Amino acid sequence: MTDRYAVIGNPIAHSKSPQIHAAFARQTGQDIEYKRLLAPLDGFRVTVESFRAAGGSGANVTVPFKLEAFDLADEVSQRAKDAQAANFLNFDGGRIRADNTDGAGLTRDIAGNLGFGMAGRRLLLMGAGGAARLADGLGMLVEQAAESFFLWRGVRPETAPVIARLRIK
């Protein structure tokens, strides 16, 4: 049986998450479906509940709903508590478990993809100028998606080929 996942946001048509998760599924042999869901600005909870009732297994959450996702959860990870926001939901029986994979995605991108060692260093990232346009968010996006995929599926996909494929497009 195919497990169903989605990314929920507003706007959402631009999201690369379906392509990323499809690539992860092919790579790891996982049977999943992953789609975009546009939630009305005043309808996040209803969108989540409808998707869950229709057999959804979990969802990623993007703007502007990360605070609402945090509040919706029955169980919240320490990472989500630290951020006071959630971008990951897992539907486990009658409960909703929330996490935040953004920090893991950022650190994996900086350390693994960009080769910048962070151990023992203090970092400050500000603005979106020239330096920020180098990491362009794609590495972080793919890395946080890989963390979500791992939390849902128990297998960590290779991110480098997915990042490379998306850069070509």
The pTM for the full model equals 0.91
User: Quick one: pLDDT at residue 124?
Assistant: 75
Choose the weakest-confidence range: 60-64, 77-81, 117-121: 117-121
pLDDT-based confidence at 89, cuts 50/70/90?
very high
3 state SS of 116: coil
Q: Which helix (H) or strand (E) holds 32?
A: strand 32-38
Residue labelled with tokens 């991108």: 109
Range of 29's domain? Answer: 3-164
Residue 83's domain is classified under what CATH number? Answer: 3.40.50.10860
pLDDT value at position 130? 47
Please indicate, yes or no, if residue 103 is contained in any of the structural domains: yes
- Averaged pLDDT for residues 103-130: 81
- The model's confidence at residue 137, banded by pLDDT at 50, 70 and 90, is confident
Domain count, the chain: 1
Asked whether residue 144 is assigned to any structural domain, the reply reads: yes
- What pLDDT is recorded for position 128? 53
43 falls within a domain: yes
What pLDDT score was predicted for residue 20?
98
Is 169 contained in some domain? no
Task: Check: CB of residue 67 under 8 Å from CB of residue 44.
Answer: no
Over the stretch 148-160, which tens digit does the pLDDT of each residue have?
Answer: 999 999 999 999 9
Report residue 110's pLDDT band, with 50, 70 and 90 as the boundaries.
Answer: confident
Is residue 12 within 8 Å of 63, Cβ to Cβ?
A: no
66 is catalytic: yes
Spatial distance between the Cα atoms of 3 and 108, rounded to a whole number of angstroms: 26
Residue 150 lies in a domain: yes
Which one from 16, 66, 81, 169 is the annotated catalytic residue?
66
Matching residue, tokens 């600005």 = 41
Rg (alpha carbons) of the chain, rounded to whole number: 16
Among 15, 104, 97, which residue's Cα sits nearest to residue 62?
A: 15
- 91: closest CA among 61, 65, 52? 52
